[in-house]
Amino acid sequence: MPTIADPRAFLENLFSVAVSAADPEKVLAANLPEKPKGRTVVIGAGKGAAQMARAFERLWDAPLTGVIVTRYGYAVPCERIEVLEAAHPVPDDSGLLASGRLMAAVRGLNEDDLVVALVCGGGSALLPAPAGDLTLADEIAVNKALLASGAPISAMNAVRKQVSRIKGGRLAALAHPARVVSLVVSDIPGDNPALVASGPTIADETTRADALRLIERYRLDLPEAVMRHIRDGKDEPPLPSDPRYARNEVKLVASAAVSLEAAAAAAKKAGVEAVILSDAIEGEASEVGRVHAAIAAEVVRRNRPFEKPVVILSGGETTVTIKGKGKGGRNGEFLLSFACATDGLAGLSALAADTDGIDGSEDNAGAFADGTTVARLADKGKDAAEFLSRNDSWTAFDALGDLFVPGPTGTNVNDFRAILIQ
């Protein structure tokens, strides 16, 4: 098999192929709903929602109106659908206004009308709508506590929907008796569409009791007003059996599984065998990094469980329990941990990145690493393990010029990890 002369270009191409497999225009074309007798109203939220809206406009050859919200800097021009921007990952006032606009857009519809919900990752933070007597500050406090807790996305959403007027299927309930068709790009391990963006149009089975157990399990320090609201349970989100959802439909239009399969096919076309470990890996990012490192080291040293040359692919959504005050996201954390555990290994290159183009709060999607990463940091008088201990992966990879910055991609099927060994 041929040697890959430029490993980073090879890995970057695999990322591009994975993202292209989730391109909104491609995936929506095969999943358009039937046109209604009445009006068509488009709503949506997420980091790729504007691109989804633009694609839907191009594909829908009938009247429509609508409004969607995306992250600041992620908007693209649409002709018939209004595009709003708000903060992510911590909600802000613009998100609060956007939630109000989406809720207003679906009120007053009848059974002949159609609501098309374009839902993708990031929508939860973009749609703050505090329930009861709670405030935006309360919802922000919940979000920050969850982000720092290391809790998986399923636990986060079980809590989030208890304090919201829009999450957990509530937006679809507001649209009743109109039919709601949710077109979902999944960034969730396991691809449960009710968990994407905390399911504004899709109910799930979790209850107030589940949320309270998870708050205790992950030791979440939430405002007393939030705890009181959840304990009171006066306005729990509807369950999937609610008759208001009887006519609704959910279509999963893109996922990590499809994107990883596309990347694997591209690698094989280039003459490199590809293996997919899983599209649904969860857990602490640094621990997942060490596990991937152990597998890669086994291949480097013993040519097992896979024979070189090979590219090892995986997806899912890791988490970071924040202990330091550094900068960076879960993919940087994964990769720095991986680099520490593969220090000195030859013939190994890796890319870890978020398919939406942003890892954490900075402008990079992730970073590159190889067996020289730790040594190159040491040459600059910097300690990779120290960076990792303070959750400061961005600073480490920035010092090396190894950040990966593709910009917003217009989609989101979560983490993409590729390790080339030759």
Residue 139: partners with Cβ closer than 8 Å, 6 or more residues away? 91, 128, 129, 130, 163, 164
Same domain, 264 and 232: no
Number of structural domains (the chain) is 2
Residue 2 is assigned to a structural domain of this protein? no
Domain residue limits at 364: 7-19+257-421
pLDDT at 89 (0 to 100)? 87
pLDDT at 188 (0 to 100)? 85
Same domain, 194 and 261: no
pLDDT at 1 (0 to 100)? 55
Residue 1 is assigned to a structural domain of this protein? no
What whole-number distance in Å separates Cα of residue 319 and Cα of residue 288? 10
Reduced to 3 states (helix: H, G, I; strand: E, B; else coil), residue 242 is: coil
**Tens place of pLDDT per residue across the chain (422 aa):** 568 999 999 999 999 999 999 999 889 999 999 999 999 999 999 999 999 999 999 999 999 999 999 999 999 999 999 999 999 989 999 999 999 999 999 999 999 999 999 999 889 999 999 999 999 999 999 999 998 888 888 899 999 999 999 999 999 999 999 999 999 999 888 889 999 999 999 999 999 999 999 999 999 999 999 999 999 988 889 999 999 999 999 999 999 999 999 999 999 999 999 999 999 999 999 999 999 999 999 999 999 999 999 999 999 989 998 888 899 999 999 999 999 999 999 999 999 999 989 897 789 999 999 999 999 999 999 999 999 999 999 999 999 999 999 998 888 898 999 999 99
Taking the mean position of all CA atoms in its chain, how far away is CA 159?
17
Same domain, 13 and 27: no
pLDDT at 166 (0 to 100)? 97
Same domain, 412 and 346: yes
Residue 297 is assigned to a structural domain of this protein? yes
pLDDT at 329 (0 to 100)? 93
Domain boundary among 208, 230, 255: 255
Domain boundary among 221, 255, 289: 255
Residue 181: partners with Cβ closer than 8 Å, 6 or more residues away? 33, 114, 115, 116, 117, 248, 249, 250, 251
Reduced to 3 states (helix: H, G, I; strand: E, B; else coil), residue 113 is: coil
Q: Is the peptide bond before 177 cis (omega within 30 degrees of 0)?
A: yes
Tokens of 356: 């939406």
Residue 331 is assigned to a structural domain of this protein? yes
Same domain, 162 and 203: yes
Sheet architecture: strand order including 249-254:
81-86, 65-71, 40-45, 114-119, 179-185, 249-254
Domain with residue 134: its CATH number is 3.40.50.10180
Same domain, 28 and 174: yes
pLDDT at 92 (0 to 100)? 96
Same domain, 34 and 175: yes
Same domain, 40 and 185: yes
The CA-atom distances, in angstroms, between 92 and each of 71, 127, 240 are: 11, 9, 29
Domain boundary among 233, 255, 277: 255
Same domain, 92 and 130: yes
Same domain, 85 and 153: yes
Same domain, 221 and 327: no
pLDDT at 57 (0 to 100)? 96
Domain with residue 314: its CATH number is 3.40.1480.10
Same domain, 287 and 297: yes
